[in-house]
Amino acid sequence: MPELPEVETVRRGLQPVMEGALVTRVEQRRPNLRYPFPTGFAEQLTGRTVTAVARRAKYLTFHFDRDPVLISHLGMSGSFRIENGEDAAVPGTFHHERSKDAAHDHAVFHLRTAGGSSARVVFNDPRRFGFMLFSEASALAEHPMLVGLGVEPTGNTLDGSVLNMLLRDKRAPLKAALMDQRLIAGLGNIYVCEALWRSRLSPRRMAGSIASSKRPSTPRTEALAQAIREVIADAIAAGGSSLRDYQHADGSLGYFQHRFAVYDREGEHCPREGCPGTVSRIVQSGRSTFYCGTCQR
């Protein structure tokens, strides 16, 4: 499933084309994805102007000059394709390549951009685990898909003191706690593994063991918060750099996995300078965890 940096690079790729654009026509090519399309899906969006393309955790939200707000999730295989004249691009960088097969194009947004040109934005999803739902703007934070989501791991919102508060009473393994969307929104398996390696923390240790009930933060919560912010920022930057090179994008540029330290590198030498360890793989909560047992404690 695409993780937060992938979704953010999709948002950044869509933003220049969609923001300020008038939706002139919408094609809904099937009745449902993971969930049924909202009643009157095409009719309710036609004639609306896109005011913002935003993101909350792994959800994209499309805001218009009046209700509704469109909430979209990419699921396992979903992507948006921008078609402008003869050019077609799939914004975003993904761990697994995205489909461009028109047989899986399920929703097509015909746009007149802010600059006056015509464009199409196509939602493609072979496995149909993605979805598109509506919400009133005033009730967006209370929508069932968004309510209860934790702090965003981008910017400076997540710091050592916030992480200390979130983890100090947690008896779950550290990795499991970091993937709890009620605590930190949008942080997934790949980047948790990478952040734990950067902060030299074992995914096996209890989450509460790095926090303090007597101090606002600890050196470990500060180091982990910094590592989370940096790994997400680095991954987004890798996606952003590839977007500038898209013509007929094939997913070959800007892939952050070329710089993975531990994820999917079982049996390889730990890349930390001076560490003699080897990357191991264990299963936690049904997900693969990659880490170095020598330098991560």
Q: In 199-276, where does DSSP find H-type helix?
A: 219-243
3-state secondary structure of 69: strand
Tokens read off for 87: 């050019």
| pTM, to two decimals | 0.87
Q: In this structure, what DSSP letter does residue 112 have?
A: E
Q: Is 2 a catalytic residue?
A: yes
Per-residue pLDDT of the chain (297 residues; tens, 9 = 90+): 778 888 998 999 999 999 999 999 999 999 999 999 999 999 999 999 999 999 999 999 999 999 999 999 999 889 999 998 767 777 765 655 677 788 999 999 999 999 999 999 999 999 999 999 999 999 999 999 999 999 999 878 899 999 999 999 999 999 999 999 999 999 989 899 999 999 999 999 999 999 999 999 999 999 999 999 999 998 888 775 444 332 223 333 344 655 789 999 999 999 999 999 999 999 999 999 999 999 999
Got the DSSP string for 7-36?
A: HHHHHHHHHHHHTT-EEEEEEE-SSBSSSB
CA distances from 245 to 4, 20, 158, 251, 253 (A): 21, 23, 31, 11, 8
Catalytic residue among 3, 6, 8, 194: 3
**287 labelled catalytic:** yes
The pLDDT of residue 64 is: 98
Q: How far from 258 is each of 37, 77, 222, 232, CA to CA, in Å? A: 37, 21, 27, 15
Active site (annotated) includes residue 3: yes
Residue 235 burial by Cβ neighbours in a 10 Å radius (0-12, 13-18, 19+): buried
Selecting among 55, 120, 128, 287, the annotated active-site residue is 287
Cα–Cα distances (Å) from 169 to 69, 163, 166, 212, 223, in that order, read 37, 11, 8, 9, 19
Within 10 Å of residue 62's Cβ, how many Cβ atoms? 24
**Residue-range domains of the chain with CATH:** 4-142 (3.20.190.10), 160-292 (1.10.8.50)
Catalytic entry in 11, 48, 58, 81: 58
